[in-house]
């Protein structure tokens, strides 16, 4: 007969308690993630809107002028990463459109774009949507599956109504899992 304090009996109870504790902890972690807790923030969160070197309005370009996402961000359709467009894309319009006011003075923002283009200097845009290095996200797969602009809006929100671009979604793992669950139910 084994005693309450028998070595095998104690180690068995400790093992069961440890497994129970770890299982409950893992379950709570998953449930918290699915319920919206945001852990592991890397400093760039929902609502993040860094100041850019040149004022750029998605509301004007994508909203008022109806320029499609993939016109400027064409790499999203055929590459893992969606790049900021080169100045060549901007200059397709801004060689002609200078946003002049009634006195004929060009828009200061467009003048900066033209100056950078003429000096062959890229604009040092500040990245808005940041993910940790260990996250592997493929824009191409999502654009191919859902099509633009639907795929774009899922993460980036109604960009065509944003005067200043900001991070619309948290892009946390919990947010991704909730999005996928909603997608499966639909």
pLDDT tens-digit series, residues 145-172: 888 888 899 999 999 999 999 999 988 8
**Do 131 and 163 fall into the same domain?**
yes
Residue 29 lies in a domain: no
**Do 158 and 134 fall into the same domain?**
yes
Q: Is a pLDDT exceeding 90 seen at residue 87?
A: yes
Average pLDDT over residues 81-109: 93
Average pLDDT over residues 112-123: 97
**Do 100 and 76 fall into the same domain?**
no
- The domain containing residue 62 runs over which residues? 46-84+126-167
pLDDT at 149: 84
**Do 131 and 75 fall into the same domain?**
yes
pLDDT at 133: 81
**Do 78 and 66 fall into the same domain?**
yes
Question: For residue 108, how many other CB atoms are within 10 A of its CB?
Answer: 10
Residue 96 lies in a domain: yes
**Do 113 and 136 fall into the same domain?**
no
Using CA atoms, how far apart are residues 163 and 13, in angstroms rounded to an integer? 61
Please give the tally of structural domains in the chain: 2
Q: Is a pLDDT exceeding 90 seen at residue 14?
A: no
pTM check: above 0.85: no
**Do 73 and 142 fall into the same domain?**
yes
**Do 137 and 160 fall into the same domain?**
yes
Residue 36 lies in a domain: no
| Residue 82 tokens, joined | 């969606």
Q: Which residue has the tokens 């850019």?
A: 52
pLDDT tens-digit series, residues 16-64: 877 888 888 778 777 766 665 555 554 458 999 999 999 999 999 999 9
In total, the chain counts a number of residues equal to 186
Residue 73 lies in a domain: yes
pLDDT at 19: 84
Which of 97, 124, 151 lies at the terminal end of a domain, its last residue? Answer: 124
pLDDT at 8: 62
Using CA atoms, how far apart are residues 23 and 25, in angstroms rounded to an integer? 5
**Do 139 and 80 fall into the same domain?**
yes
Farthest CA pair distance, the chain: 101
pLDDT at 122: 95
Model confidence band, residue 179 (pLDDT cutoffs 50, 70, 90): confident
Residue 75 lies in a domain: yes
**Do 64 and 131 fall into the same domain?**
yes
Please, what is the average pLDDT of the chain?
A: 86
**Do 148 and 120 fall into the same domain?**
no
**Do 75 and 148 fall into the same domain?**
yes
pLDDT at 3: 60
């Amino acid at each position: 007969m084994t005693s309450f304090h028998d070595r095998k009996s104690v180690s068995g109870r400790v093992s069961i308690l440890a497994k129970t504790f770890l299982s409950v902890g893992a379950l709570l972690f998953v449930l918290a993630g699915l319920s919206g807790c945001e852990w592991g923030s890397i400093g760039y969160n929902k609502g993040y809107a860094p100041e850019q070197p040149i004022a750029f309005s998605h509301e004007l370009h994508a909203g008022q002028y109806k320029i499609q996402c993939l016109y400027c961000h064409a790499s999203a359709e055929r590459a893992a990463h969606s790049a900021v467009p080169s100045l060549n894309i901007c200059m397709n319009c801004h060689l002609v459109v200078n946003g002049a006011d009634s006195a004929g003075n060009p828009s200061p923002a467009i003048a900066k774009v033209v100056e950078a283009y003429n000096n062959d200097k890229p604009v040092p845009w500040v990245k808005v949507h940041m993910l940790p290095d260990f996250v592997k996200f493929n824009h191409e797969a999502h654009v191919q599956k859902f099509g633009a602009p639907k795929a774009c809006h899922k993460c980036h929100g109604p960009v065509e109504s944003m005067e200043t671009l900001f991070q619309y979604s948290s892009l946390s793992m919990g947010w991704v899992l909730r999005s996928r669950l909603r997608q499966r139910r639909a």
